Structure 1
Amino acid sequence: MPLQPALLKTLNLITTVAAITTIVLNRDFIKETYYARSSFLSNADIGLLIPAVTWFLLGGFSLVQWCDFAHDVVVEAIDYNLFISNLAIVSWVLSWRYDWLVVGELLLVLNAVLITRLYSRMRIFTATSILDYAFVHVSFSLYSGLVWLDVFQNFFAAFTTKEGGPMSWAALGAAFAIFILLAIAIYHAEFSRDPDSWSCAAVSLMILSISLEQGSEVPAVQMTGLVSFGWLIGSLARRAIQNVSTWHERANDEYTPDERRGLLG
């Protein structure tokens, strides 16, 4: 049963503020912990920019969700998924505080499932304004691209080290994890019912950040990362060309609008 809209939006607001506050207050702890547990999926500092932008947009969503244009998306698609996801993120930070690494991994898996479910349900809605596009649609597109990366990075930070060297199972496992992220991003960009370039872009930049951090000392991860990044850039370029073609057809009255058109076309 869907929650009463006012209660749902209030829970979204409170838990989003709680999640952002928890991350901000613990940012030094989180950063130091990941540095202390450096793994073959650790990313360069530039990779922190993408999660920061995502959480900024999610913070904006917690406010614009009260606007009329966001009502249907919140009630029919987001439902209870976001506030439970936010609680999972808060709990994940606390789990690392108490060194409950298995619990933390399970919480991030739960978060990824919730955001993926939310994201798939909201793809049937088309943005009606710039605010709607940026804070409702782009925010969750970016977030959906990051959640499974969080799952893999948390796992490798919690349960692996670099002691085995660049050709260890951990290094090869990290390369395989990048391949899985590549498949997820390609699906979002090219094969889903409503292709989405934002999600693909988030994954591609994070993969590039991982490749830059690992460098030539970890050839399996670096090469997999660079090849995956190039592949994703190619997918984004194909999406851009398709968008230009669509806009050209529409301008010449040869295009019939599709009610299920993707957010980025």
Structure 2
Amino acid sequence: MALHPILLKTLNMVTYITAISTIVFFRDFITDALAGHPNYLTNSTVGFIIPALNWFLLGGFIFFQWLDFAHDVVVEAVDWHLFVSNLIIAAWVLTWRFHWLIIGQILLVINAILIWRLYIKVRVFTATNLIDYAFIHISFSLYTGLVWLDVFQNFFAAFTTKDGGPTSWAAIGAAGAIFLLLAIGEYHAEFSRDPDSWSAIAIALMILSISVEQGSDVPVVFITSLVSVGWLVGALVRRALKNVAIWHERAQDDVYVGERRPLLG
């Protein structure tokens, strides 16, 4: 049974504040914990800009969800997924605090599935204004790209090290994870039933951040990252050109119809 809209929006707000508060409160601990687990999928500090932007946009969603234009998408698409996701993020922080790393990994996989399902349902709705587009559609598109990155990065931070060197299985596995992220981004950019650039952009920027952090000293990760970013940029350009071609074709059809329309009547 669907939750009452007011209860649903309140839960979204309360759990968002809970997740943000938990992240902020344990920020130093999480930073130190991740720094103490160097691995081949760690991104540079610049890479934290994209997740920070995403949480900012989600904060905007929490505010704008109360407005009339957002009512249907919140009740029918976002539904219970976001507040459960917020609770998972808060719980994930605690799993690092208490060293429940396997549980934390399972939670992030569940979170990725939840956000993916939310994203698919949100994509059914067309943005009605710029606020709707930015704080609902873009925010959940970015989030959908980032949750899969979270899954891989948490796994490598929790269960791998750099002890084997840049030719170790850990480095090769990181390159494989980047290729999987490339596949997810490529799916969003070109092969999805409803292609979407924003999730692919988030993945491309985070992969670029990984390449910057690992550097040429880890050639298998560095080269894989650059190839993946180049491929995703190409996919985004191809999609943009395809959209321009579709727009031009529709414009030509409108002109043709307009020329054939009778002058009277």
TM range (shorter): over 0.9
1:95-152 residue CA offsets vs partner (Å, 9 max, x unmatched) = 1111111111111111101001100111111101011000000000000000010000
Q: CA deviation at 1:72?
A: 1.0
User: What CA RMSD, in Å, does the superposition of the two structures yield over aligned residues?
Assistant: 1.2
SS at match of 2:38: coil
1:6-28 residue CA offsets vs partner (Å, 9 max, x unmatched) = 11111001111111122122222
Structure 2, unpaired ranges of 5+:
256-265
Q: Which amino acid is 1:120 matched to?
A: I
Q: Which amino acid is 1:230 matched to?
A: G
Q: Which amino acid is 2:124 matched to?
A: I
| Larger radius of gyration between Structure 1 and Structure 2 | 2
Aligned ranges for residues 25-64 of structure 1 at < 5 Å? 25-64=25-64
1:46-65 residue CA offsets vs partner (Å, 9 max, x unmatched) = 10000000000001101101
SS at match of 1:217: coil
Looking at structure 1, the residues matched to 207 and 2 of structure 2 have their Cα atoms a distance apart, in angstroms, of 37
Aligned ranges for residues 162-241 of structure 1 at < 5 Å? 162-241=162-241
Q: CA deviation at 1:254?
A: 4.4
Q: Which amino acid is 2:148 matched to?
A: W
Aligned ranges for residues 154-169 of structure 1 at < 5 Å? 154-169=154-169
Looking at structure 2, the residues matched to 231 and 29 of structure 1 have their Cα atoms a distance apart, in angstroms, of 36
Distance 1:253 1:10, change over 3 A: farther
Looking at structure 1, the residues matched to 249 and 63 of structure 2 have their Cα atoms a distance apart, in angstroms, of 36
Identity of aligned residues (%): 65
SS at match of 2:12: helix
Q: Which amino acid is 1:19 matched to?
A: A
Looking at structure 1, the residues matched to 235 and 29 of structure 2 have their Cα atoms a distance apart, in angstroms, of 36
Residue 98 of structure 1: aligned partner: 98
Q: Which amino acid is 1:80 matched to?
A: W
Looking at structure 2, the residues matched to 23 and 49 of structure 1 have their Cα atoms a distance apart, in angstroms, of 15
SS at match of 2:215: helix
Looking at structure 1, the residues matched to 137 and 220 of structure 2 have their Cα atoms a distance apart, in angstroms, of 35
Q: Which amino acid is 2:135 matched to?
A: F
What TM-score, normalized by structure 1, do the two folds share?
Answer: 0.93
Q: Which deviates the most, 20-29 or 63-72?
A: 20-29
Looking at structure 1, the residues matched to 76 and 227 of structure 2 have their Cα atoms a distance apart, in angstroms, of 38
Residue 132 of structure 1: aligned partner: 132
What TM-score, normalized by structure 2, do the two folds share?
Answer: 0.93
Looking at structure 2, the residues matched to 54 and 24 of structure 1 have their Cα atoms a distance apart, in angstroms, of 15
Residue 14 of structure 2: aligned partner: 14
1:143-168 residue CA offsets vs partner (Å, 9 max, x unmatched) = 00000100000000000100011111
Distance 1:72 1:216, change over 3 A: same
Residue 147 of structure 1: aligned partner: 147
Looking at structure 1, the residues matched to 254 and 240 of structure 2 have their Cα atoms a distance apart, in angstroms, of 19
Q: CA deviation at 1:38?
A: 1.0
Looking at structure 1, the residues matched to 50 and 105 of structure 2 have their Cα atoms a distance apart, in angstroms, of 21
Q: Which amino acid is 1:124 matched to?
A: V
Q: CA deviation at 1:253?
A: 4.3
Looking at structure 2, the residues matched to 219 and 46 of structure 1 have their Cα atoms a distance apart, in angstroms, of 21
Looking at structure 1, the residues matched to 203 and 27 of structure 2 have their Cα atoms a distance apart, in angstroms, of 22
Q: Which amino acid is 2:179 matched to?
A: F
